[in-house]
Amino acid sequence: MCEIVLVGRSNVGKSTLFRALTGEKVPIGRRPGVTVRPYSVRIGSLTYVDMPGYGFMKYRSWEEQERVKDLIVRYLEDHADRIITAVQVTDAASFLEIAERWERRGEVPVEIEMWDFLCDLKLNPILAANKIDRISNKDQVMDWIAERLGMEPPWRRWDDRIAPISAKRGEIEPLRNLLKSRIELSRGKC
Ligand SMILES: Nc1nc2c(ncn2[C@@H]2O[C@H](COP(=O)(O)OP(=O)(O)OP(=O)(O)O)[C@@H](O)[C@H]2O)c(=O)[nH]1
Ligand SMILES: [Mg+2]
């Protein structure tokens, strides 16, 4: 049994993407913290998993937010050998601003920490830069995101692991193509 797991900060559009990929009508919302536990659906020999978001969640205590982060980390560790790819979803429109805010506080931005964690676990991660419909300077923003994650721009050099998408508009072709080749590669395993 193989899994494709969607992870990312709260409110970046994971569940919207999950709907677009699987057709499952999971709840989505304008406030962070809509998805509270992993939700899976099986399609053929693959299980797609929509994870709760980490980081800020409105109306949730700090302890609760930490618990969710632990749950995600443990889930990824426990399922590592069956995860064929972890899709880290980010909000392309606010990625840089949020990363800089963390850095000013002297902290490693949580999205960079998560990306490194996914790479360390060898989960073959894909960065889905979502909400691309909200930005006009797409290539520049994609370059910034790639650079922050340790991929020397131009971002198109890395288009085997980074994909600009708009889940809301259903414009997810670049991600679908990457998933297709990941699934193809792991065929014997699933
Ligand atoms: N403009 C735009 N908005 C989007 C896009 N994808 C999702 N959204 C909006 O972002 C908000 C959050 O979407 P969700 O799919 O619930 O986000 P999530 O990451 O699952 O959130 P949590 O479950 O709280 O972690 C909703 O208002 C969506 O309509 C997109 O591609 N473009
Ligand atoms: Mg969600």
Whether 12 is in the pocket of ligand 1, judged by its Cβ within 6 Å, is yes
Ligand at minimal distance from the CA of 89 is 1
pLDDT of the residue at 61:
78
**Which residue ranges form the domains of the chain, and what is each CATH number?**
2-189 (3.40.50.300)
pTM: 0.95
pLDDT in tens, 19-38: 999 999 998 988 878 888 99
Please compute the mean of the pLDDT values over residues 168-188 and round it to a whole number.
95
- CA separation (Å) from 58 to 34, 50, 108, 122, 132? 9, 19, 22, 32, 24
At 56 the pLDDT is 65
Specify the residue for token string 């990929």. 21
> Residue 66's pLDDT is what?
86
Average confidence (pLDDT) over 131-135:
97
- Judge if the beta carbon of residue 90 lies within 6 A of ligand 1: no
Residue identifier of the C-alpha nearest atom 30 of ligand 1:
131
Q: Report the C-alpha gap between 149 and 140 in whole angstroms.
A: 14
In this structure, of 14-23, 26-35, 164-173, the range with the lowest mean pLDDT score is 26-35
